[in-house]
Chain A
């Protein structure tokens, strides 16, 4: 191997090891982010505080409340005596939903025409929509139970069964745990952010500290300087990948259904893009701060347009089109498929090719701009 390249890589490693703070950031930040996002970035709704205005006070009403209690979507926190109290509780945020049972609930139930009112705080649409469907499901299931009981009591030889039944089966993530969706995304985001930021600052540092002036005078070629400088960071990024995968697997229980070698190889494609963007930023910026800002400017929109938080399908057409130039978008599909579905390359070849093309393109563009000169 090229001895100049080895010298640069060794020098870079010595510098990284002599700077324990940076090294610590590189190795610890992904863990912190993983735990933060793994727990906070979840749309699983549990234990919504519910206020109940039960005007009926009948055994039938208590049966309905039991049904609500049994599903752990709701927690009956308040029993109130007027509709206004529900309004006050929801306004103050102490309750997120209210259930009003009318005084004639038992009588009307006997006639088969009972109604209850369910009030929902819709200011957070994600949890509200979960709560809404949960409340409807609980109500329907309870109604079916009552009907079945009624028929059984009437002694009719008649089995109540809806004519069509949709039997659902959820694949890959049967319990619909959001962490399964989120953590692969976190892996992608961390890898992308770390490689692009570190590459940009590492290269700009040579310019900022003036050491580039001495490097220029040596016969080091531009590509040797670039490869030599980014190799150590690429290795550290792979280390981060393994670290995040291990914690995701053993702590958050994320399955790893594809071979590790394939995951690492395809993660390498994302690193290519991250390194390319970092390198490109380094050709624009003159100080490490500028480099950091430049990278962040591209990183933030990239994360939003990658489908990390919000599904791409729900975005306006124009944003969907823009998202085609976001490499993270392809990687998220790849890593989610690899971890959760255990598919081979064939199933995700479109994304793999797109990611590879983007990496080669941005690397090439950055390399063309990168000059071993001061002007």
Chain B
């Protein structure tokens, strides 16, 4: 099988900081791959290595079959990259930015102009084409970044936290764009990094990064299954006392508050015991349980379990 993005044992250190410490990736065409992890886990460095902005200390990577170290420019010509920080020119207009990046990527005006209008229409910036990029809202800037990355019709898109700091409606828009992109154009694959678990859940596959390594990888369903049966939802009064008592239980690994309820993560094979034991302990401790039941784990549970 031909992977559009392929990397083995990528490593990159800055001094003593092993930012990326042996990452393997194989991403097929048509796939949206989510890279999640805490800040500093190495997500951005991984993308920068894949785009050739940093040189790996060790390991190999290829994009669409082009070796990133030996055929850097061919590999880049297949890549669209949206960096975490806005990296277009704030003093140029939307159209000028797209024009510049299209032309330096070798497109003639005949090629980029019609495409660019399509893309601006696609991302919803057509009405703002003459506005300076610096005067766009955060969400619109990200859409402009995406538009500018798309104008050369890359087969590989690397999106570094494109929705961080963007309002929920625009986030939704942005994801619709990403999903439509993969559906409409065959043979495209996307790596997207995100701190939001609801976004990770939309990816075909998710990789969890920690200390420069991918420590778990799989479809969102697979990943959730690793905690299957080990998550309990607890409702009752008073929440603080419940939280305290639950955390004291020897089979409870972790307690997280989700609004008016608690998620308890249990040791393996302990669900039955806890379901019996915990309500008694709570009522003898002075609290009331209105609901305690097993729930399917969400990615957030998996993320927290893996981060610890």
Spell out A's residues near B (CB within 8 Å). 3-4, 7-8, 11, 14-15, 18-19, 209-220, 373-375
B58 an interface residue at 8 Å Cβ cutoff? no
**Does B51 sit within 8 A of A, measured CB to CB?**
yes
| Pairs across A and B, CB under 8 Å, 26 listed | A7-B99, A7-B104, A8-B104, A11-B89, A11-B100, A15-B89, A15-B91, A18-B91, A209-B87, A209-B90, A210-B85, A210-B87, A211-B88, A211-B89, A213-B48, A213-B81, A213-B83, A213-B87, A214-B88, A216-B51, A217-B53, A217-B79, A218-B104, A219-B76, A219-B77, A375-B14
- Chain B proximity of A182: nearest CB distance (Å): 38
CB distance from A217 to the nearest CB of B (A): 5
Cβ contact within 8 Å between B105 and A219: yes
Q: Interface of B with A (CB < 8 Å)?
A: 14, 48, 51-55, 73, 76-77, 79-81, 83, 85-92, 96, 99-101, 103-106, 148
A11 contacts across to B, CB distance below 8 A:
89, 92, 96, 100
CB atoms of A216 and B53 under 8 A apart: yes
The answer on a CB contact under 8 Å between A4 and B106 is yes
Inside 8 A of B55's CB, which chain A residues have their CB? 373, 375
Bound together, the chains give a CA A373 to CA B52 distance in angstroms of 8
| Closest chain B CB from A69 CB (angstroms) | 63
When chains A and B are docked, how far (Å) is the Cα of A210 from the Cα of B82? 12
Given A210-B87, A217-B81, A219-B76, 7 more pairs with CB closer than 8 A: A3-B103, A15-B91, A210-B85, A211-B89, A214-B83, A217-B79, A375-B54
Provide the residues of chain A in CB contact with B52, threshold 8 Å: 216-217, 373
Shortest distance between the CB of B92 and any CB in chain A (Å): 6
Per a CB cutoff under 8 Å, which of B14, B48, B81, B96 touches A214?
B81
The answer to whether A374 and B48 touch across the interface, beta carbons within 8 angstroms, is: yes
Q: Which residues of the partner chain B approach A212 to less than 8 Å between Cβ atoms?
A: 87
Minimal beta-carbon separation of B191 from chain A (angstroms): 14
User: Once bound together, how far apart are the Cα atoms of A305 and B79, in whole Å?
Assistant: 50
Q: Which residue of A lies closest to B91 (CB)?
A: A18
The smallest beta-carbon distance between A316 and chain B, in angstroms, is 43
CB distance from B70 to the nearest CB of A (A): 15
A48 to chain B, nearest CB (A): 54
B77 cross-chain contacts in A, Cβ below 8 A: 219
Give the CA-CA distance A18 to B134 in the complex, in Å: 13
Q: Which 10 A-B pairs have the closest CB atoms?
A: A7-B103, A214-B87, A210-B85, A213-B83, A210-B87, A213-B87, A217-B81, A216-B53, A374-B53, A218-B104
Q: How far does the alpha carbon of A213 sit from the alpha carbon of B49 in the complex, in Å?
A: 12
A268 to B54, CA, bound (A): 36
